[in-house]
C-alpha cells in the first residue's frame, strides 16, 4: 500500500502533506484531498493538516493518519468539507451524535445547523439538513399549495418525526447448551455467541442505536437492507425489550438444532447447537 507521504502530487504550495491523504477514522478508511481537510479555517482538521507536520500526527500500522472518532459519522463530516453543504437522508436518527462530532472537529457552522431549533412558542423542532441547504425549498400538492408538516403546537416539523415507519426486523442467533447427567446440577443451559440483526438499515439503527455493531457493513444507506449487523450484547431478552419499546411485535419464529456428545461415551454430557430466528413487525 502506498503510504500517505508517498502518494503522488503535493498538497498546497509549501505543504509537507501529499495531495491525496489516507485516513483511518475509528477503523474506517477514507481517502480524500488535502485541500478538503483544510477547507474550514481554524477547524481541528485545518490545524492538524496545515499547522502540524506529518511526523506530529498519529498513524496506524499501515501509515494512514489515525483519528479515534466515529468512523461511520465521519463520512458526513467529510461530505460537508467538500462543498460546505449538508444533505442528510430523510430518516437520520444520529443528528445529536453528528452534532457532537461537528463540535469535536470545531465545525461551528455545521454544529449550528444540527442543533435543535426553538420556535416562538418555545417548542423544539429538529428539522434541519435539506431545508437548510436548499434555501427553504417546499413540497407542493397537486393544486400547487405548499405542504408543510406541523406539530400539535404549530411548529414546523419533519414528516419523518411525526410517524414511525413500518417494517420488519429479523433477530437471529446461534447458541448452544448442555444437558448434563441427572446428578449434575451445574450444567450450562444456554450460551449465545452472537445476535444478528437483519432488515432495513434505518429501522435497525432506530431500534438499537449505539448497541448496534455496524463494523461489517458501515456504509449501508438508510433505505437499503442488510443482514450483516449484530448486537454488542448477548442477551436475547434485552433485544426483545428494545423492539417492544419501539413498537414492534413478534410475528414468526423458526429454529433448527443438532445434538452431539462431548466424547464417545454415551453417559457424557449432550451438547445441543441451534440456530433460531425471530421475525418482528411494526405496522
In a domain, 157, yes or no: no
Neighbour-count burial of 171, counting CB atoms closer than 10 A to its CB (0-12 exposed, 13-18 middle, 19+ buried): buried
**What is the gyration radius of the CA atoms in the chain, in angstroms?**
25
Contact indicator for 261, 271 with CB cutoff of 8 Å: yes
Residue 170 pLDDT level (bands cut at 50, 70, 90)? very high
The proportion of the chain whose per-residue pLDDT surpasses 90, expressed as a percent, equals 45
Residue where a domain terminates, one of 72, 93, 114? 114
Structural domain total, the chain: 2
Contact indicator for 21, 49 with CB cutoff of 8 Å: yes
Contact indicator for 205, 93 with CB cutoff of 8 Å: yes
Cβ burial 44-78 (10 Å sphere, 16+ → b, else e): bbbebbbeeebeeeebeeebbbbbebbbbbbebbb
In a domain, 11, yes or no: no
In a domain, 120, yes or no: no
- Residues 105, 210 share a domain: no
DSSP three-state, residue 139: strand
In a domain, 153, yes or no: no
Residue 83 clears pLDDT 80, i.e. is over it: yes
Which residues are paired to 31 by β-bridges? 22
Residues 6+ apart with CB under 8 A from 128: 86, 88, 95, 113, 114, 117
Which has more pLDDT, 123 or 13? 13
Contact indicator for 243, 231 with CB cutoff of 8 Å: no
Positive or negative CA dihedral for 79, 80, 84, 85?
Answer: positive
Contact indicator for 54, 4 with CB cutoff of 8 Å: yes
The string of DSSP codes covering 26-61 is: TTEEEEEEHHHHTSSTTSHHHHHHHTS-GGGS-B-T
pLDDT at site 180: 56
CATH number at residue 101: 3.30.710.10
In a domain, 154, yes or no: no
Residue 4 clears pLDDT 90, i.e. is over it: no
Which has more pLDDT, 221 or 167? 167
pLDDT in tens, 98-116: 999 999 999 999 999 998 7
Task: Name the DSSP letter for residue 4.
Answer: G
Whole-model pTM?
0.45
Cell of 10: 503535493
In a domain, 83, yes or no: yes
Cell of 226: 442488510
In a domain, 119, yes or no: no
Expressed as residue numbers, the domain containing 29 is 20-114
Amino acid at each position: 500500500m502506498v503510504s500517505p507521504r508517498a502518494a503522488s502530487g503535493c498538497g498546497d504550495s509549501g505543504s509537507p502533506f501529499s495531495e491525496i491523504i489516507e485516513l483511518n477514522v475509528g477503523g474506517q478508511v477514507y481517502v480524500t484531498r488535502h485541500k478538503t481537510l483544510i477547507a474550514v479555517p481554524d477547524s481541528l482538521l485545518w490545524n492538524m493538516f496545515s499547522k502540524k507536520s506529518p511526523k506530529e500526527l498519529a498513524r496506524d500500522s499501515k501509515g494512514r493518519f489515525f483519528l479515534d472518532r466515529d468512523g461511520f459519522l465521519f463520512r458526513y463530516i467529510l461530505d460537508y468539507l467538500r462543498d460546505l453543504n449538508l444533505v442528510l437522508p430523510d430518516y437520520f436518527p444520529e443528528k445529536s451524535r453528528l452534532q457532537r462530532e461537528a463540535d469535536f472537529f470545531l465545525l461551528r457552522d455545521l454544529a449550528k445547523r444540527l442543533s435543535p431549533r426553538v420556535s416562538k412558542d418555545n417548542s423544539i423542532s429538529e428539522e434541519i439538513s435539506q431545508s437548510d441547504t436548499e434555501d427553504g425549498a417546499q413540497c407542493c400538492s397537486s393544486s400547487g399549495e405548499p405542504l408543510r408538516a406541523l406539530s400539535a403546537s404549530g411548529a414546523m416539523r419533519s414528516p419523518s418525526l411525526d410517524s414511525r415507519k413500518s417494517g420488519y426486523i429479523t433477530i437471529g442467533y446461534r447458541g448452544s447448551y448442555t444437558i448434563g447427567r441427572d446428578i449434575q446440577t451445574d450444567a450450562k443451559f444456554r450460551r449465545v455467541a452472537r445476535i444478528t440483526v437483519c432488515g432495513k438499515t434505518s429501522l435497525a439503527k432506530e431500534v438499537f442505536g449505539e448497541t448496534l455493531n455496524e463494523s461489517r457493513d458501515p456504509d449501508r444507506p438508510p433505505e437499503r437492507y442488510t443482514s450483516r449487523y449484530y448486537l454488542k450484547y448477548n442477551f436475547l431478552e434485552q433485544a426483545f425489550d428494545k423492539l417492544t419499546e419501539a413498537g414492534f411485535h413478534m410475528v414468526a419464529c423458526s429454529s433448527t438444532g443438532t445434538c452431539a456428545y462431548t466424547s464417545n461415551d454415551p453417559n457424557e454430557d449432550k451438547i445441543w447447537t441451534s440456530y433460531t430466528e425471530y421475525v418482528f413487525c411494526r405496522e
